[in-house]
A and B are shown apart, each in its own frame.
Chain A
Amino acid sequence: MSTRTLPLLFINLGGEMLYILDQRLRAQNIPADKAKKVMNDIITTMFNKKFLEELFKPQELYSKKALRTVFDRLAHASIMRLNQASMDKLYDLMTMAFKYQVLLCPRPKDILLVSFNHMDAIKDFVKDTPSILSQVDETYQQLIEMYTPLSNGEFQLIRQTLLIFFQDMHIRVSIFLKDKVQNSNGRFVLPTNGPVPRGTQIPGLIRIFSCSGEELTRLQFSNGGNYSSALREGSFEMFGNRVTKLGTNMYSVSRPVETHMSGTSKSSAQHTKVNAAPNPLAKEELNMLARLMGGLEVQKPGSTDTGFRVNLFATDEEEEEALISRPNELSYGVISIQATKDQQANAELTKIMGEFTESGDPSSSASSKGEDLLALMDGLRVKDSK
């Protein structure tokens, strides 16, 4: 499948994460300066130059586990803390939102417009901070450089790769259910009306030609839907009207973020076993995490008085309840490692750790996916020394 999928997956999921966090920070009345710091820190980490360099390299998509770990770290790149249940919920929302956007894109190429919508919003979050703004602008350039020359077929391959990643995810999201874009069984509504994509004609016409190329007959047929002509083309440049609404911020303080866990047990029977099976790559994953440890800054949670916790649920009780009642099949299986304890426990890991410098510089030729990226991410963790 496509080796150019990861940047789009990361940027779009990151964008959704920022929308949700922004909404929660405001809903929980976190002081404006702290909230801004969190957003800035996360965006700075997301768009770090070295990190993006690694991200944009042609590579296979990460496993769900590996990607979830990346976002775990990203969410904790600042003074904000999230409990397991809130992090799970955040990730559910992010992934279902992007899955919806990928599915509903009229043309595969429109995924790029969705990405630009996210980028536009991110740019707006940091418009007052020139240093981060320039990072974001550079990323626009990289996206334009890498993706605008691609053909429609190559975009469809990227889309198909993303759809395999999102396969069998049917978590119900309150805001989608309310807006009637998702059914109660977790599947998205695919309308058979509305504008056709650019480059496509409204179905209904048959033209028969003679051997010399002139049109002999025209026949009409009924298409069973209710389609209208295509909308105008969106802008694929740094600025401009993207036209599509997919990828814009659908949350606001008055539209809370919720997911329903109870209805998912039926569909989880079909939950993909591809990533959950006994993993012959377990050794691989361990190496990757071990490298992480090498660059890990041992955070002392709660040691500074500027740290705070964000809850994705309405109350702490709800959050606790969510953690207990989460179906096993839906757990992301994120492994949390306590560096100090395990150091002594595992000789092999100790040896690996010893090979790395303090900064966790990923110098060796990485054959396992994600090592470099995660190590980089850890090295970049905003060191809050207030």
Chain B
Amino acid sequence: MAYSWDCSREVHLDVWLNTGAQGVAPDQINGCWRGHVKLSLCGFGHQEKRNLNCTRQPRQIAYLSTDTKLLLFITTGEIRWMRLENKRQGINFNLLRTMFHKEKSIQLKNSASALYNNLSVLRIAPRRLTYFTVVHANVVNMVSTSWDGLNYSHRQLQSKEPNVATSTSLIMQAAFCALPSRDLLVVSSQKGIQMYESDGSIMVYWHALDTPEAPTGVSSGAVLVFDVPSKGSNITLSEVLEEHKEAITDIASECSGSQECLANLVTADDGGNMCVWKSGEEFQLLNKIPGLDITCSSVKLWKGTVLAGYGTGQIRLYEAVTGILHAEVNAHARWIYSLDVAPFSGLLLSAAEDSFVRVWHLAITPETNSVEIAHLHNECVTDTQICGAKFCDGDGYAFAVTGYDLSEIIRRVPASWTVSQDT
């Protein structure tokens, strides 16, 4: 059996697996699928070969990033990453293990509060830094970490008080927004919305929310659209979208750079209802996906598919524009708090109050309307109700997790492991 993939004109990758004598049964000594991975440089006649031992059946080669030289190779219930390295005589590569290995945790000044999607990550490639934000009551903890793991710097942002005499204002969410021309940190609290430069150094905008003395204390479900210039603080409120009747829990967007992408924004609310929009001078409502009275706490949009996490622990995949249900997963035993998707590789991360973080693989082909979701990995953070989980990069190679009452950001990366040379 061979799996091959032409990932680019230069590199052609084949994964060969031994089959048994009759060419049917796999070689299963010690329950392993044996084989080897062969990498060839087309046009150069050069090949590299590595032995491969999988405890699960290989399914597909999912993704290769020519940027980061990472290759994602999926078996039934496992992830395998390979890192390709250019050597003088050709290409070298190492097989990385499935088990995620604990990278050093990042200590925080306070613990994380139990809020949906309570972790935001921004990668600043030119400066080789990553920013993390975690909310604690009325404070946003920001940590900036260098990629070599040597430098950490902390900053705390407090929610702005329009009126000092009133009670301290609790923050609902802090999130990085990567806009085409700049990155912003948006912090929303009961009193209003603050926008900062991505390093948290300057607040560039403040929008006060009317706080009625009404007894409900639940937000109205309005979605505010802001016009952000590429520099400076001349941010204005351009539109208010009023389709939801219940409090908004999460918003997701997808760059409309991809060809067939019609929808590029989805908003979700406390009743599980979702609205799909198309951005423009005025936002256009494309579709409404009704909920079943269960909160949708986290939502993502990828390749025209809505990925939604619910209070019942289910994940559902809907086609954004039509609302067709593609898949339903009984994913967690408690309320889901966070979903994240790695846009380049199609890996999905889900985290819930049940202490589990799960990694899934999505295969979506908008053209043929086919959707597949496969479970790859479980990670249990003992005795912790997880409130935030994010991939640290677009490939989904490493991820970070926060939990209620935990004063650290837990990180996982696939462990490095050199395979023996082929004979």
Contacts and interface: CB of A to CB of B under 8 A. Distances in A.
A369 B167 contact: yes
A192 B356 contact: yes
B326 to A, nearest CB: 6
Contacts of B115: 160
Given A160-B115, A206-B373, A274 B168 contact: yes
Given A167-B111, A211-B324, A284-B165, A108 B335 contact: yes
B331 interface: yes
Interface in B53-108: 77
Nearest to B217: A3
B320 to A, nearest CB: 14
Interface stretch (B176-184, B279-287, B307-315): B307-315
Contacts of A159: 114
Given A168-B405, A208-B327, A190 B355 contact: yes
A270 B405 CA distance: 9
Interface string A21-64: 00000000000000000000000000000000000011010000
Contact of A152 (B114, B190, B295, B384): B295
B328 interface: yes
A280 B169 CA distance: 13
Contact of B330 (A188, A203, A211, A224): A203
B224 interface: no
B359 to A, nearest CB: 11
Contacts of A238: none
A227 interface: yes
A221 B375 contact: yes
A69 to B, nearest CB: 16
Contact of B293 (A151, A163, A367): A151
Interface in B132-152: 136-139
A203 B314 CA distance: 8
A190 B333 contact: no
A187 interface: yes
A359 interface: no
Nearest to A192: B355
A314 B327 CA distance: 59
B384 A208 contact: no
B295 A153 contact: yes
28 contacts: A1-B217, A58-B215, A106-B334, A151-B246, A152-B293, A156-B311, A160-B113, A167-B111, A187-B405, A190-B385, A197-B334, A200-B314, A202-B333, A203-B313, A203-B330, A206-B328, A207-B328, A208-B327, A213-B325, A223-B378, A225-B380, A227-B333, A270-B111, A270-B407, A272-B111, A272-B137, A274-B137, A274-B138
Interface of B: 77, 110-111, 113-115, 136-139, 164-165, 167-168, 170, 190, 214-218, 246-247, 249, 270-271, 293-295, 311-314, 324-335, 354-356, 369, 371-375, 378, 380, 382-385, 404-405, 407
Interface of A: 1-4, 57-58, 60, 103, 106, 108, 151-154, 156-157, 159-160, 163-164, 167-168, 170, 183, 187-190, 192, 196-197, 199-209, 211, 213, 219, 221-225, 227, 270, 272-274, 280-281, 284, 367, 369
Given A58-B217, A190-B384, 15 more contacts: A1-B190, A3-B216, A103-B385, A152-B311, A153-B246, A154-B270, A164-B114, A192-B354, A197-B333, A202-B330, A203-B330, A213-B324, A213-B325, A223-B333, A270-B111
